[in-house]
Amino acid sequence: SSDLTQDPAVSVALGQTVTITCQGDSLRNYFPSWYQQKPGQAPVLIIFAKNNRPSGITDRFSASTSGNTASLTITGAQAEDEADYYCNCRDRYGDQLIFGGGTKLTVL
């Protein structure tokens, strides 16, 4: 099986742009999905496919993938964007799904 690697923590000043990355071999074959999780709440899907947002998700979130690295960009970060963010995709070596370790985003 393979892994997805994320930076444990990232910070951004209010209103600025921040990128959260996810690295792994499986990203050469699968677009990841991205989830936002706030304390005490279930994860929420924010990005899927190449760069699709479910209905109701702000367009401050966007994503891209190149080689073995996927990026989630938050443009004009707001206080409510402070949360944990997880990437997820199918493992290129099997049928299982894999999660990155998560990135804790702090909005300063």
Partner 1 sequence: QVHLQQWGAGQLKPSETLSLTCVVYSGSLSDYYWSWIRQSPGKGLEWIGEINHSGITHYNPSLASRVTISVDTSKDQFSLKLNSVTAADTAVYYCARRDYGFWSGSHYYFYYMDVWDKGTTVTVS
| Residues contributing to the site for partner 1 (CB under 8 A) | 1, 29-33, 35, 37, 41-45, 48-50, 54, 65, 84, 86, 88-90, 94-102
Least separation, in Å, of the C-beta of 12 and partner 1?
20
Task: Return the number of the residue (77 or 100) whose C-beta is nearest partner 1.
Answer: 100
Query: What is the residue whose two structure tokens read 């304390």?
Result: 39
> Rounded to whole angstroms, how far apart are CA atoms 47 and 53?
5
| Min CB(5)–partner 1 separation in Å | 12
In the block, residue with structure tokens 């401050």: 60
